Structure formats: structure tokens, C-alpha cells
Amino acid sequence: MTIPTEPIGSIPRPPALVHGLAEHAAGRIDQEALDALTDDAIADTIECFALTDSPVITDGEQAKPSFVTYPIAGSDRLAAGGVTIPFEDGHTRQLPSLADGPFTYGVYADSFLLRARQHTDLPVKQAVIAPSALSLLYPASGLDGYPRERFLTDLADESERDIRRSLDAGAHSVQLDFTEGRLSLKLDPSKGVLRDFIALNNEVLGRFSDEERKRIGVHSCPGGDFDSTHSLDVDYAELLPELFQLAAGNFYVQLASEADRPRTLEIIARHLKSDQRVFIGVIDPINPEVETPEQVRDRVLEAAEHLPVDQLGTCDDCGFSPFSDDTSTSRDTAFRKIAARVAGTRMAEDVLAG
């Protein structure tokens, strides 16, 4: 009996790269020097992942400016003043706003994947941003000569290309980051925005074959930035029935930090389809206390009371550093938590195998 286990994505950058990014922004080091620091960070991240015995790894998003905006980094078609995302501790993140069309990606996620695969033969997972998140770039006032309908068509085409390029480049799995799903219910309790998000994401997912969708998943969480969330207070019961309408093969669901895990597992069990697998979060990246393998084991066994074991996997609730300047969690803590996830999942396998 094997229960797959996967990370979500980001790992805090090493101090040398954090310093290098600041120096590059200030014009004190050139791109070549920054690239060298980034390659060192990727190699170190992969080496640390290997030491956790994780069967699937990521590059820790060492080169991504953020999990949301990597496709448009450096674009000259953006303006300030986009959607603001408020977090519970009072800090905010603000998206840029599209200033002109047509919408195109400047960076595709396979560029990160190929860079990582130069350092390892281990299976590498690649996270991409869901088209629903990037749909928030279009300004509410519209754009002359570039209607929203045309933007959404271009966005769907680019998102498909982003996913397909990572699949073709040999990603073990491709994960759509969909943190805006739960947040949308806070902004629009009627679920109108959420259902628009689901429809757009399904427009893209529907372009892939059944076999391809077995390698495509969707990650849902209430956000995580500087040890704060943006929508943990939103009832999961409002999101989950809609979430499992997505035409993906895998779902990565935050659960370790959820107040009532049994209730959430019951909801998942009611809506999980026979051709879907759910990876439950057994590690809380925001909690500074490192989980023990025994705690992870018990969370897996709890989930197995509600869900078919052959449709069960484990993951972390969220990435450990979704934005480049978030170093609230140390690299050492992140990898200790990952090691506990891997060991605890294996312990649960042994118990379930009798």
C-alpha cells in the first residue's frame, strides 16, 4: 500500500539569495551574478529535499518573483492599483492591473522546471498559477479596444500553454495554485465570482486528455504570507463542493490548520469523484512548531476513516514562502516539517497495511 506525498511548492530562500535579490534591485550586482546565486539556491534546495526522502520534490520556487505574477514579470503592459488582498494581520498584497492588450505570458513555468532538472533525477513537481487568479488583472473599468471577453480567451490559451509546456518538459505533476477560490467567498458570498473562477479553470482543464489530467492538480488554501492567512475564517463547506467540480485528477487541500478536520473530511468524502485523488494537508507551514511523524501518522489515519485509501495522498497545507520577501519561516524549519510529512505518511502506510 502506497500513499503518495508531495510538497506544495515554495521554500524560503537562503540568506545569500535574499541578499542578492536586494542588491540586484538596488543595481549593485548584475543579472549574471544574481543567476549564479539563484542556481546555487536551487541546487541546495534540491539537495535538502533529497535528504528528507521526499519521493517528489520542487525547486522551492527559488527563481519565481511570486507564485502569482511570474508569467508577467517585467511586462510593460501593467499598471499599479490592481486588486488588493488583505491578510488577517493587517498587511496586504496588491496585484498589478493590465494596462493594455493583448495579454501574453512573458515567462512560462517550464523554464523553472528545466532549470531544476539540471540538478536532479528525482521526480519534480511544477506549480503554475491558475487562470482564475490572473483574471483579476483585468481592470473593472475595462480597456479600450481590448474587451474582457478577448482577454479571457487569450488568458485561457496562455494558461493551457503554461500547463502543457510543463507536462511536455517532464513534470511529475503540475499543480494549479487556486488560493483565490476561498478568498472569493469572502469578497462575494453569493458564489458568483467563485463559479466564474471554476468555469474559467475548467475551460482550460477541459483541453487536456483524461491521461494528462491524472498529472494535473489544484491546490486550495486560505493563503499564507508572513504567517498570516486571508480567508481561514471562510467556511470550507462553502468552497469544497464547488472545488471538486474542477476537471482535475488531483486536489491538494489545506487541512492541518483547519479547526474541524473530521467535518471537512466528511465534506470531501461526499464530493470526491471516483477518478480523483485528494492530497490532505498534514503540515501547517504557519505554525512554528515542527510536527512529529507520529502527529502526521495520526492525521493520515484520521483521513483514512473518511476517505478511500487508494484515493488519498498527503501534502503540506501551503508553500512555505509564496512571495520572495517572506522569510518568516526558516529553511531548516521547512525541511524538518517536510521530513516529518514523509516519515509520518510512511508510518501510516504501515499501520493501514496491517
pLDDT in tens, 271-313: 999 999 999 999 999 999 999 999 999 999 999 999 999 999 9
Q: Please give the domain boundaries of the chain with CATH numbers for all domains.
A: 5-352 (3.20.20.210)
- What residue has cell string 517532464? 170
Counting as low any pLDDT under 50, the low residues of the chain are none
CA pair distance 88, 200, nearest whole angstrom: 28
The SS3 call for residue 250 is strand
pLDDT at 228: 63
Q: Could you count the other beta carbons within 10 Å of the beta carbon of residue 140?
A: 7
- In this predicted model, what pLDDT tens digit does every residue of 32-90 receive, in sequence order? 999 999 999 999 999 999 999 999 999 999 999 887 889 998 888 988 877 777 777 67
Please choose, from the candidates 305, 315, 219, the residue with its C-alpha nearest in 3D space to the C-alpha of residue 262: 305
pTM score, two decimals? 0.94
Angle CA 334–337–249, to nearest 5: 95
pLDDT at 255: 96
